[in-house]
Structure 1
């Protein structure tokens, strides 16, 4: 059985999603984001692959976006569109690292496809981005932050393990 939602409901659901992502990025608490999805939802990420349900989505999002370097990002919307016929929202989100200390900007964008399930929840999210470009952007940001002396001890330790060459 298929259901059609109104443009307004899809817009509201997208704004709830976007607001939840913003709040989670600020607080580090990604559980409200997990709850935007049905318990058996599918989430597809280019680096991880397909995850099914809260039991797979939760540990991924908590281990990827809560700790550094995910904790140093925020995700403003570049644009979005609503497909009422398919019950879908497609958007471009900017993955923006915090200012390294000199006002420069480091970001890599992704396309997110959200399949709506009703009641403000989603049955699927598919993120589309270039993992190599994302990794390169984080490395470049780390290099600049190191040069400026703006990484804390935990961040220095992370970069020392992930990219030891930039700390020289």
Structure 2
């Protein structure tokens, strides 16, 4: 038997989702970093591996600044009670600037490892934004989307 029950994992994910929704609404991603343990290992395949909550905080604020309106709806969820993990099928979605209901996005798989007390010790985002994001973001820009700040690409990062 795992350390956490399915119910505990479901509650942790509900809290995670609530915090992400608040960050999307406010454009302030500090609370997202606070979802993680101080020694979190966050693997983002395009941007690198971030070790520690403050490294996640610095990165997420910078990478999300151009897209405060981006949402992350989940298509499916798998709970792994034995390992305290949650795996999600997520879409990174930008809304059409003038046509409600029209979206631009790309798929992502996320694996979270729960540490207890509402905190996660690991997140891994499995996708290829270098391949998938340019088409979605390009179409959004062509439709009139405007980034809130300069767009930071994975080549401009400090890891």
Output the TM-score relative to the length of structure 1: 0.82
Deviation at 1:3, TM superposition (A): 5.9
Q: Deviations over 1:12-52 (max 9, x none)?
A: 00111111111101111211111110001010112211000
Match of 1:98 among 95, 99, 115: 95
Aligned residue for 1:74, secondary structure, equals coil
The gaps in structure 1 that reach 5 residues or longer are: 163-168
Output the TM-score relative to the length of structure 2: 0.86
Aligned-CA RMSD value: 2.2
The gaps in structure 2 that reach 5 residues or longer are: 154-159
* 1:76 lines up with 2:73 in the alignment: yes
What is the match of residue 54 of structure 1?
53
User: Aligned pair in 2 of structure 1 residues 119, 157: CA closer, same or farther (>3 Å)?
Assistant: closer
Deviation at 1:96, TM superposition (A): 0.9
Q: Name whichever of 93-102 and 37-46 sits farther off.
A: 93-102
* Alignment of structure 1 residues 15-164 onto 2, 5 Å: 15-65=14-64, 67-68=65-66, 70-103=67-100, 104-131=102-129, 132-145=131-144, 151=146, 155=147, 158=150
Moved over 3 A (4+): 155-159
The count of aligned residue pairs is 151
